[in-house]
Amino acid sequence: MEAHDLRAIANRMRRRDLHAVYEAGAGHIGGEMSVTDLLTALYFHIMNVNPLEPRDPNRDRMVLSKGHAALALYVVLAEKGFIPKEELSTFLKPHSRLNGHPNCVKVPGVETNTGPLGHGLPVAVGMAKAAKLNGQRWRTFVIVGDGEMQEGSNWEAIMAAAQFELDNLTLIIDHNGLQQGARLAETNNIAPLAPKLNAFGWKVEEIDGHDMDQICKAVSVETTSKGKPKCVIAQTTKGQGISFMSDNVAWHHKVPNHEQFEQAMKELEEAANEYAP
Amino acid sequence: MNMPLDPADLHDCRDAFTSTLEALAAANSDIVAVCNDSVGSSKLGGFREKFPSRLINVGIAEQNMVGVGAGLANGGKLPFVCAASPFLTGRALEQIKADVAYSQANVKLVGISSGMAYGELGPTHHSIEDFAWIRALPGVPVIAPADRIETAAAVRWAADHDGPCFLRLSRVGVPDILPHDHVFELGKSNVLMEGGDITLIANGVLTHRALAAATLLEDRGLSARVLNMACVRPIDAEAIVQAASDTAAILTCEEHTIFGGLGSAVAEVVVDECPVPMKRLGVPGVFAHTASANRLLDDFGMSPEGIANSALELIDRKG
């Protein structure tokens, strides 16, 4: 798919996400806006997944370790056909299978349950190792938040992935520079991340996490490196696409009021016009 | 412990675990072992020799170890994740909860050297909370085999079972108790001795002590039913209700804190279904003093004599 089309899809994903957050009265809209372009590129350009066979043994795996951005994943899974689009309006409703963090037992397309931070990467290492043991060519992708890199379990997994030479594993760090309560730099500043991952034996690439061309290239199989796991550090903006949310720590999990919703939707629709055929 | 046991008759259940796992792995190429630098203490040396690529040693990193196990299961493998029980269950409890239990990952958790097997190494290395922790998680059977026969049977069951489970193994030698053709059934206890005055319920390294206690009671003209209850979850409620009905007194014995383990699980059934006098033997809510595993069990009232004495008190109580 062309980058232009991917941008149009990402814009649509953002509007659906915004709508669902407004409707549910909850969500993690800042981080969902920052991760949407990454998810769109993976699901609509890179990954081999089939909603008709969600457990196909040869499917590519994607683990959203920053599970609090579940809604962004649900929106993408609905667009792909894993779940009905109408079901998005049940997000967070009593007995909905779409709760605040993704559940692989209930939601087709979800690979493992995430929510507590620092869980996705170790599981993804196990997936990639399984593919190696099986002699299969499917790939494993895992998206973590940058604040999440403060979890020690991630560094255990980073060591293991290098030791196991998992060149079929791609870690994408959604590096928006903000965590729940403050900037990373003011909390536990693990940046710069690239030299750390390099030192642990990974191939590292830093990109603009909202530039479709850069994302698609960085996660493509052609840019992997034999014997090394790959880390893509995606420089992103929390609240991307909505001016008053952008890079604003207040919008980690704030819910827009009616005026803010209208304003946000207007901005996204204006951007959508750019992608109109 | 004043038990006439010949060391030659005592067996380390880890050997039964690994020999069974190796035999299963020879027939099923999806079986892999995951460990945390514990090849020696988990007795996985033979497995590594036979299946070098299928021994996945993540180093000293238990959180990653359990996560990797869940990922391997997602990729179609059948992982046995082996580590000293205190570190497997304590350090990686959240991974066990989210990645294994909640995700229903087909991961077999094998807690090695559980209970107070590491006696003199002290409470950091004791695992007397693991029944309680893992039992609190939905969908993870908690199994403590009593001897090498039940260990082998439980490992075979685990490999066939589609879903997670926790096998709690010791390194402390125990005699053979169950018949050689024993087949493990989830949630089913075994009557090892029949009796009508009291029921002794035990598992793991306590089962043979409970049997010895029953023999002591016999010498005093009392008959005790002995139930080997390997499964702490699901608990064999039917056998507990039957025991309460038939013997009207229940004494539990476990190598675990008395808060939340086998005794608690039995007491939950007794309170709900069949109130009778009951006592729970175990570690009484303290960090243990320095001593060997067997000595600690004796010190906490679980020598055969100690168990028999508690049984006598309980029989008195029911009047």
pLDDT tens-digit series, residues B238-267: 999 999 999 999 999 999 999 999 999 999
Tens of pLDDT, residue by residue over B271-291, are 999 999 999 999 999 999 999
A156–B58 CB contact, under 8 Å:
yes
* Domain hosting residue A87, numbered range: 3-275
Residue A69 sits in a domain whose CATH number is: 3.40.50.970
Q: Which amino acid is at A274?
A: E
Q: How confident is the model at residue B13 (pLDDT cuts 50, 70, 90)?
A: very high
Compute the average pLDDT of residues A12-30. 95
B75–A127 CB contact, under 8 Å:
yes
Q: What is the pLDDT of residue B264?
A: 98
Number of domains chain A contains = 1
Q: B175: buried, middle or exposed (CB in 10 Å: 19+, 13-18, 0-12)? A: middle
What distance in Å separates residue B235's CA from the closest CA in chain A? Answer: 25
Residue B142: C-alpha distances to residues A145, A183, A221, B187 (Å): 34, 43, 42, 9
User: Which residue would you say has higher pLDDT here, A252 or A94?
Assistant: A94
A153: nearest CB among B59, B63, B71: B63
Q: CA B291, B85, B192: angle at the middle one, nearest 5?
A: 80
Beta-carbon contacts below 8 Å between A and B: 112
Tens of pLDDT, residue by residue over A238-272, are 999 999 999 999 988 899 999 999 999 999 999 99
Tens of pLDDT, residue by residue over B30-70, are 999 999 999 998 899 999 999 999 999 999 999 999 999 99
Indicate the fold that domain B190-318 takes in CATH: Rossmann fold (3.40.50)
What distance in Å separates residue B113's CA from the closest CA in chain A? Answer: 24
Q: B183: buried, middle or exposed (CB in 10 Å: 19+, 13-18, 0-12)? A: exposed
What one-character DSSP code corresponds to residue B204? G
Q: How far apart are CA A88 and CA A24, in angstroms?
A: 10
Q: Which residues, listed in sequence order, are joined to residue A208 by a DSSP beta bridge?
A: A235
Chain centroid to CA B248: 25
Q: Which residues, listed in sequence order, are joined to residue A128 by a DSSP beta bridge?
A: none
Which of A97, A105, A129 is best to mutate for the B interface (most B CBs within 10 A)? A129
A104–B32 CB contact, under 8 Å:
no
- Is the pLDDT at B7 greater than 90, yes or no? no
CB atoms within 10 A of CB B194: 11
A152–B94 CB contact, under 8 Å:
no
Token pair belonging to B121:
């190494």
Helix axes A70-80, A3-24, angle to 10 degrees: 120
Q: What is the pLDDT of residue B88?
A: 98
* Structural contact between residues B183 and B161, judged by C-beta atoms closer than 8 angstroms: no
Short-list B223, B229, B270, B220, CA closest to B250 = B270
Torsions phi, psi for B231 (to 5 deg): -85, 115
Minimal-distance CA residue of chain B relative to A113: B103
Q: Work out the percent of chain A whose per-residue pLDDT is above 70.
A: 100
Contacts of B315 (CB under 8 A, 6+ apart): B197, B198, B222, B249
Q: Is B150 a catalytic residue?
A: no
Contacts of A153 (CB under 8 A, 6+ apart): A118, A119, A121, A122, B63, B64, B67, B95
B103: nearest CB among A104, A157, A164: A104
Q: What is the pLDDT of residue A15?
A: 97
Q: What residues of chain A lie within 8 A of the CB of B69, using their CB?
A: 126
A129–B59 CB contact, under 8 Å:
no
A160–B61 CB contact, under 8 Å:
yes
B64: nearest CB among A61, A133, A157: A157
Tens of pLDDT, residue by residue over A97-155, are 999 999 999 999 999 999 999 999 999 999 999 999 999 999 999 999 999 999 999 99
CB atoms within 10 A of CB A261: 16
Q: How far apart are CA A103 and CA A110, in angstroms?
A: 7
Q: What residues of chain A lie within 8 A of the CB of B32, using their CB?
A: 133
Q: What is the pLDDT of residue A277?
A: 65
Q: Where in chain B is CATH 3.40.50.970?
A: 9-168
Q: How far apart are CA B214 and CA B199, in angstroms?
A: 9
Minimal-distance CA residue of chain A relative to B63: A153
What distance in Å separates residue A200's CA from the closest CA in chain B? Answer: 15
Q: How far apart are CA B41 and CA B20, in angstroms?
A: 16
Buried b (16+ CB within 10 A) or exposed e, A81-112: ebbeeebbebbbeeeebbbbbbbbeebebbbb
**Catalytic residue from among B49, B62, B129, B305:** B62
Q: How far apart are the first and last CA of chain B?
A: 30
Count how many Cα atoms sit within 13 Å of the Cα of residue A240 in the half-sphere of its side chain: 28
Q: CA A100, A104, A107: angle at the middle one, nearest 5?
A: 75
Q: Where in chain B is CATH 3.40.50.920?
A: 190-318
Q: What residues of chain B lie within 8 A of the CB of A106, using their CB?
A: none
Q: What residues of chain B lie within 8 A of the CB of A61, using their CB?
A: 74-75
A-side interface with B, Cβ within 8 Å?
57, 61, 103-105, 111-116, 118-119, 121-131, 133-134, 140, 152-153, 156-157, 159-160, 163-164
Q: Which amino acid is at A65?
A: S
Q: Which amino acid is at B299?
A: D
Q: How far apart are CA B43 and CA B48, in angstroms?
A: 10
B94–A116 CB contact, under 8 Å:
yes
Q: What residues of chain B lie within 8 A of the CB of A130, using their CB?
A: 71-72, 74-77
A111–B74 CB contact, under 8 Å:
yes
Buried b (16+ CB within 10 A) or exposed e, B39-75: bebbbbeebeeebeebbbbbeebbbbbbbbbbbbbbb
B-side interface with A, Cβ within 8 Å?
32, 53-54, 56, 58-59, 61, 63-64, 66-77, 79, 94-95, 98-99, 102-105
- Is the pLDDT at B4 greater than 90, yes or no? no
Token pair belonging to B39:
């090849």
A126: nearest CB among B59, B70, B94: B70
Contacts of A10 (CB under 8 A, 6+ apart): A36, A37, A40, A212
Tens of pLDDT, residue by residue over A192-218, are 999 999 999 999 999 999 999 999 999
- Is the pLDDT at B318 greater than 90, yes or no? no
Q: What is the pLDDT of residue A1?
A: 83
Q: Specify the 3-state DSSP secondary structure of A146.
A: coil
Task: Report CA Rg, chain B.
Answer: 19
Q: How far apart are CA B56 and CA A169, in angstroms?
A: 17
Q: How far apart are CA B38 and CA A180, in angstroms?
A: 37
Q: Classify B9-168 by CATH class.
A: alpha beta
A115–B98 CB contact, under 8 Å:
yes
Q: Is the backbone of residue A271 left (phi > 0), alpha (psi -120 to 50) or beta?
A: alpha
What one-character DSSP code corresponds to residue B11? B
A119–B104 CB contact, under 8 Å:
no
What one-character DSSP code corresponds to residue B123? G
Q: What is the pLDDT of residue B3?
A: 55
* Structural contact between residues B253 and B200, judged by C-beta atoms closer than 8 angstroms: yes
* Structural contact between residues A273 and A7, judged by C-beta atoms closer than 8 angstroms: no
